[in-house]
Amino acid sequence: MTTELIEQLQDGVLTLTLNRPERLNALTPSMTDALLAALRRAAIDAQVRAVLLTGAGRGFCAGGDVQAMAASEGAEATLEARTHQLREHMECARLLHEMSKPTLAVVRGACAGAGLSLALACDLLVAGSTLKMTSAFAKVGLSGDFGSTYFLTQLLGPRARAFALLSPVLQADEALQMGLVTQVVPDEALDDEGQRLARQLAAGPTITLGHIKANLNVAEQGATLAQALDHEAIRHIRCAMTEDHLEAARAFMDKRTPVFHNR
């Protein structure tokens, strides 16, 4: 276990807190190992119905630890070994984006580099008013990791080139206007709003939300209309066969709030 990542499960919400506030939660190998292990467990744990990723202190995540980079830590390893470790760590972004449970990033202050990639990998991104969002990779002589190229292209289209190459620092309202965040709230309300949204997602029909995510992922990966329709058809009928769908239909007729059990 490491104190660099705090895990808390309550009401179906797994909150994962990056915990190096003195370094703006810059990622270390041990922290990333812990995050990857936690996400792999969350993906298959029936008790987890939503994942909330946040950072301790005044920042979300400043990306990789530049201090360690400057000291050339790990530079003695071979290209193949370093590539393998990085690719393994980058599974964190894939899991946040593709696991069959909704994921939410709650972000304040610094959100840069790999931290930006992890935040954008989530289904929803709620930002505090102190958000400072930037790619940062080019400024430290790196090309980008943890899916930054993919997520920026999906969200910004042609504007991704200017954002990645020039690395401007966006304030919260600018990031919202560009479509990089879902909503902006005052910092003092950020944690409460994040937990409210996460609990809302966790109380939903988890199987259905997973199929919605899968459909969206198929579409964003360039499926033809026919392929998208094929995926929609089988997933829609799969959802129609769940107890949660029947509960939702009955609740609609009874004019009450449905209670979902992920079955």
Residue 7: per-residue pLDDT:
97
Residue 137: per-residue pLDDT:
92
Percent of the chain with pLDDT over 70: 97
Alpha carbon 29 to its chain centroid, in Å, reads 19
- Collect all residues with Cβ–Cβ distance below 8 Å to 163 and sequence separation of at least 6: 135, 152, 156
Write out pLDDT tens, residues 151-184.
999 999 999 999 999 999 999 999 999 999 999 9
Residue 8: per-residue pLDDT:
97
Q: Is the Cβ–Cβ distance between 110 and 62 less than 8 Å? A: yes
- Tell me the residue type at 228: A
Residue 184: per-residue pLDDT:
98
Nearest to 27 by CA among 132, 96, 118: 118
Catalogue the long-range contacts made by 162-169 (C-beta closer than 8 Å, 24 or more residues apart). 163/135, 164/135, 164/137, 164/138, 165/138, 166/138, 167/134, 167/135, 167/136, 167/137, 167/138, 167/139, 168/134, 169/132, 169/133, 169/134
Q: Is the Cβ–Cβ distance between 135 and 112 less than 8 Å? A: yes
Write out pLDDT tens, residues 224-246.
999 999 999 999 999 999 999 98
